[in-house]
């Protein structure tokens, strides 16, 4: 009996003898898919698209917007806001989703173990009523219950693999968003040198400013002197 034949036998027993637990496994898979799409997926899209308005606005974007606004306000005073708190809050938010995802994936194994014990007890219970030897009933119970536990392990392995990939994608999105926030913080920061340059900006074209401002005054003063000279010449 080759591997494929054994696997087909396990699958056939799993889908027929353990139909109830197949349904429970399907429900667990649906909750995991919902979390991946509407939880982690939504957070990832919001982080990647930030600060563009096309992304969905949620808790993480509010954190980023608040950080940028504080950077803009305090940056004009030369105050640099540390990025550690921002990164910690975003990664903490990501950890919440990741922990939920792994917890739901572990339900595959719990359901598989429960199905295995249920099948064993069910056949032993029937054997005690029908007078079948316990060893024979236990053998039949293992044959019926083992596929449920086996596929519980398979779904757990595949689920954790998908969870690790989703976590990696979400962490990358967090790093991208934090990098953009750092760039905006740098753009909004005014160092003491920038503040001095801003204060001295009106003096940049001082010569031209003085010429434009004093030229009419000097010209008017010249006209007054000319008129005064002509008046004095007439009196003499």
Q: Is the pLDDT of residue 227 over 90?
A: no
- The CA distance from 37 to 18, in Å, is 28
Q: List CB contacts of 167: < 8 A, sequence separation 6 or more.
A: 94, 98, 101
Helix (H) or strand (E) holding 208, with range, is: helix 206-235
Query: Residue 50: pLDDT above 80?
Result: yes
Percent of the chain scored above 70 by pLDDT? 70
Condensed to tens digits (0 to 9), the pLDDT of residues 108-130 reads 999 999 988 888 787 777 767 76
Of 68, 55, 159, 147, the closest CA to residue 106 belongs to 159
pTM as predicted: 0.72
CB-CB contact of 14 with 144 (8 Å): no
According to the model, what pLDDT value does residue 197 have?
Answer: 47
């Amino acid at each position: 009996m080759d591997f494929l034949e054994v696997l087909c036998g396990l699958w056939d027993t799993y889908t027929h003898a353990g139909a109830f637990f197949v349904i429970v496994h399907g429900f667990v898979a649906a909750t995991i898919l919902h979390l991946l799409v509407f939880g982690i997926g939504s957070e990832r899209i919001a982080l990647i698209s930030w600060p563009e308005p096309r992304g969905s606005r949620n808790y993480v974007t509010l954190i980023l917007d608040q950080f940028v606004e504080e950077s803009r306000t305090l940056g004009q005073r030369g105050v640099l806001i540390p990025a550690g708190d921002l990164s910690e809050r975003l990664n903490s938010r990501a950890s919440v989703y990741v922990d939920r995802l792994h917890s739901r994936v572990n339900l595959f194994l719990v359901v598989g173990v429960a199905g295995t014990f249920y099948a064993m007890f069910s056949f032993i219970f029937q054997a005690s009523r029908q007078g079948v030897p316990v060893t024979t009933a236990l053998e039949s119970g293992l044959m019926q219950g083992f596929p449920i536990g086996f596929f519980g392990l398979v779904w757990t392995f595949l689920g954790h693999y998908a969870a690790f990939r989703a976590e990696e994608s979400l962490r990358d999105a967090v790093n991208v968003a934090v990098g953009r926030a750092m760039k905006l913080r740098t753009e909004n920061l005014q160092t003491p040198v920038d503040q001095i340059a801003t204060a001295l900006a009106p003096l940049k074209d001082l010569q031209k400013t003085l010429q434009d401002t004093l030229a009419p005054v000097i010209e008017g003063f010249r006209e007054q002197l000319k008129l005064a000279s002509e008046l004095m010449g007439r009196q003499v």
